[in-house]
Amino acid sequence: MADIETFKQENRVFAPPAELVKHAAISGMDAYHALNAEFAKDYEGTWARLAKDNLKWHKPFTQTLDESNAPFYKWFADGQVNVSYNCLDVNLENGNADKTAVIFESDDGKVTRVSYRELHQKVCQFANGLKSLGIKKGDRVVIYMPMSVEGVAAMQACARIGATHSVVFGGFSAKSLHERVIDAGAVAVLTADYQVRGGKQLPLKSIVDEALDMGGCDTLKHVVVYKRAGAEINWVEGRDLWLSDVVANQSDTCEPEWVDAEHPLFILYTSGSTGKPKGVQHASAGYLLWAVLTMKWTFDIKPDDVYWCTADIGWITGHTYIAYGPLAVGATQIVFEGVPTYPNAGRFWDMVARHKATIFYTAPTAIRSLIKAADADEKVHPKQYDLSSLRILGSVGEPINPEAWMWYYKNVGHENCPIVDTFWQTETGGHMISPLPGATPQVPGSCTLPLPGITAAIVDETGNDIPNGNGGILVVKRPWPSMIRTIWNDPERFKKSYFPEELGGKIYLAGDGAVRNKETGYFTITGRIDDVLNVSGHRMGTMEIESALVANSIVAEAAVVGKPDETTGESICAFVVLKRPRPTGDEAKQIAKELRDWVAKEIGPIAKPKEIRFGDNLPKTRSGKIMRRLLRVLAKGEAITQDVSTLENPAILDQLKEAQ
């Protein structure tokens, strides 16, 4: 289990402001307990009530939860919906047509406002354009686009016609994109000529070309290109189309394709403990229901809020809390193209002030890097900006350390904004464990309590409950509507990864360790229990990086471990054995750089090891197993105090001790 003992404890309790409690969707702990009691009394009935109250059904469902083929659970299976209808048309019908849906701010600071009416038209034209290409319900469409209104519209357009999208983060390499296009069997890639971030134009279309040139993408027929920058790009006649041509002359209404509740809305690839990323498949109705409920419960979204989630649409946070959730509740949201440090590290605070944002949701890594920047330069300190519009702050993607929590609370939230530290995963579809802003007293570093309906618990390796105060494995005992449905093309891996037999085959294994406080029952996440790293809130499999390294012809063997990092949470440290003698000095530096660039090409720049150490060998047991736990100690720069008697080659530890 990860360092439970060394986890820095912060025991101060921060109560939600009274004014917020008064008007909150879940107002006070009594309301929270009452909702829990309702679930405890009638689990399915409560979900059914919420599903009826919060979604518009084309055909009402009669069965709530179908457990007959567990763990392939089905929710609301005989009901029919359309997700895009629930995000857009619903707002035209209930008086939000002229309300701003999106305040888009470009990298260079240009602001565009898009109303619900305009967004609806845009999505309908996009959807009709896709239909004109022959794209239909059930087809898979890969989206490789920058943060933009068009990116959100692309996702909504797919949902409207029942095509299953798979968004690939713009920082992934051609090879990663290639793998995903093939695995998903995509018929089209929607992309842009370039993306613009931090004052730079970064190519997207040329990466798509490179990916498709790798061959084997037999299902692919179209590449649709949104012109963001207008610079030169390569063009393949007959395959490539400009988005502007695809949507030209298309009607601005498009009858939604009604789909079964379980219809796959999207596939999103994420890292697991083997080399191959997993295509996490989500359903339509259950997913959207939880997006709506968590917008109401965790963010307490109100009609006048200006909501801002800084994630990228390439990650699950950008799916649930940009592309779907905020629209489904008729919110006004900020969508930002750029990066937090351009033109300077005050950009987030400046944007909060200018747009009068009321809810701000970001990652601990961003906060930590902005703390550093503010320490170095007073001018970008949040105190220079008017942040008085803020009422709720959020954190997502990785543990937030108590120091960063306190800074965020004081300097950004002026000590009267609750911080919702939301624990969840690509697989869970939405928040799982989080404070409620108008109810839960917060303790820095703890994600506090499960949301109503979420049966999170901590168990041992055989699935037995563990008493509070002891660390164990985080599980969810009952299925919930927004849970992962399967791994695309690999139902066996789905069962093995998330519903292992050792735990009885029916409870969801999150892959994280956790501990509950003895008195309060509050959860603290202690880190992944598998070979998954979390670098700047990005999930990365150590095996994925190892496979990339050994794919290089000079590498004989590689082992990758995580190392605690002040800014990025964890950083990647690779131990590498070359097929040639172990390099030292400048040669080692040169080869390390080449290997880092190699990994960037194989997976993407986010997977570059921060540190590479070369050895003549790796520490192995007599049976040849690499002892990763020793490598983790070495990476941290600590002395090895563990028993090394099973080690075949203890002398190697000395060689790998020092960073090169």
- Is the Cβ of residue 129 or residue 402 nearer to ligand WTA in the bound state? 402
Hey, what are 308's tokens? 């801002």
Q: Does 421 bind ligand WTA (CB under 6 A)?
A: yes
- Is the Cβ of residue 152 or residue 447 nearer to ligand WTA in the bound state? 447
Three-class SS state of 239: coil
Q: Does 512 bind ligand WTA (CB under 6 A)?
A: yes
3-state secondary structure 157-202: HHHHHCCEEEECCCCCCHHHHHHHHHHHCCCEEEEECEEEECCEEE
Q: Are strands 486-487 and 278-282 parallel, antiparallel or unpaired?
A: antiparallel
Task: State the residue for tokens 């006004």.
Answer: 332
| 450 neighbors 457 (Cβ within 8 angstroms) | no
- Is the Cβ of residue 54 or residue 422 nearer to ligand WTA in the bound state? 422
| Strand order from edge to edge, sheet including 508-516 | 456-459, 471-476, 508-516, 523-528
CA distance linking residue 180 with residue 100, whole number of Å = 34
To the question of whether residue 160 is assigned a binding role by annotation, the answer is no
Q: How far is the CB of 227 from ligand WTA (least distance, A)?
A: 30
In Å, how far from its chain's centre is CA 611?
25
String of b and e for 28-44 (b: at least 16 CB within 10 Å)? bbebbeebbebbeeebe
Burial class of residue 274, CB neighbours in 10 A (0-12, 13-18, 19+): middle
Q: Which residues have C-beta within 8 Å of that of residue 37, sequence separation ≥ 6?
A: none
Which residues face 240 on adjacent strands?
Answer: 223
CA distance linking residue 458 with residue 4, whole number of Å = 14
String of contacts with ligand WTA for each residue 522-541, x by CB under 6 A:
---x--x-----x----x--
Q: Does 298 bind ligand WTA (CB under 6 A)?
A: no
Q: Does 316 bind ligand WTA (CB under 6 A)?
A: yes
Q: How far is the CB of 160 from ligand WTA (least distance, A)?
A: 25
Question: Which residues 256-285 are close enough to bind ligand WTA by CB under 6 A?
Answer: 270
- Is the Cβ of residue 128 or residue 434 nearer to ligand WTA in the bound state? 434
- Is the Cβ of residue 90 or residue 447 nearer to ligand WTA in the bound state? 447
Q: Which stretch binds ligand WTA (CB under 6 A): 220-228, 370-378, 382-390, 394-402?
A: 394-402
Q: Does 397 bind ligand WTA (CB under 6 A)?
A: yes
**DSSP assignment letter at 610:** S
Q: Which stretch binds ligand WTA (CB under 6 A): 349-357, 391-399, 553-561, 626-634?
A: 391-399
To the question of whether residue 49 is assigned a binding role by annotation, the answer is no
Question: Which residues 537-576 are close enough to bind ligand WTA by CB under 6 A?
Answer: 539
To the question of whether residue 317 is assigned a binding role by annotation, the answer is yes
To the question of whether residue 45 is assigned a binding role by annotation, the answer is no
Q: Does 183 bind ligand WTA (CB under 6 A)?
A: no
Closest CA to 458 of 395, 400, 521, 539: 521
Number of residues that bind ligand WTA (CB under 6 A): 21
To the question of whether residue 21 is assigned a binding role by annotation, the answer is no
- Is the Cβ of residue 256 or residue 314 nearer to ligand WTA in the bound state? 314
Q: How far is the CB of 268 from ligand WTA (least distance, A)?
A: 9
Supply φ then ψ for residue 282, to 5 degrees.
-110, 150
Q: Which stretch binds ligand WTA (CB under 6 A): 11-19, 26-34, 112-120, 392-400?
A: 392-400
Question: Which residues 422-441 are close enough to bind ligand WTA by CB under 6 A?
Answer: 422-426
Supply φ then ψ for residue 367, to 5 degrees.
-60, -50
Numbered residues of the known binding site for CoA: 197-200, 317, 536
Numbered residues of the known binding site for ATP: 397-399, 421-426, 512, 528, 539
Numbered residues of the known binding site: 197-200, 317, 397-399, 421-426, 512, 528, 536, 539, 550, 555
Binding site for ligand WTA (CB under 6 A): 270, 315-317, 396-399, 421-426, 447, 511-512, 525, 528, 534, 539
